[in-house]
Amino acid sequence: MYDVKNLTRLPQFRKLAPSAMSGFQEFDKAALADGVIPKKYKELMALAVALTTQCPYCLEVHKKAAKAAGASDEELAETVFVAAALRAGAAVTHGTHLLGD
């Protein structure tokens, strides 16, 4: 089902749901814009979230954006392990629901 070429279909949403698509694009642009948190760090956060949600499209888009914002391969690698630690941590902390009583 995943095919990066599917991203070329995104403009169809402008015709099919113009208001919603415009709103999404403006929100996305504002959320990821350089601000108090620099764009590079926002893109690394986006990658960490994409790794946790396992969205290959987000990985593709935000990897390119992170690299364009100056992220190094070392920063990308550390981002992978931050995401992995959070996923593992969630399993461990949710495991506490199985203990006691």
pTM above 0.85, yes or no: yes
As to burial, measured by CB atoms within 10 angstroms (0-12 exposed, 13-18 middle, 19+ buried), residue 59 is middle
pLDDT at 91: 93
Contacts of 65 (CB under 8 A, 6+ apart): 32, 39, 43, 46
Domains (range + CATH), the chain: 35-98 (1.20.1290.10)
What's the CA gap between 33 and 49, in Å, rounded?
Answer: 17
Q: Which amino acid is at 1?
A: M
Q: How confident is residue 87, by pLDDT bands cut at 50, 70 and 90?
A: very high
Q: Which amino acid is at 94?
A: H
pLDDT tens sequence across 49-58 = 999 999 999 9
Q: Which amino acid is at 81?
A: F
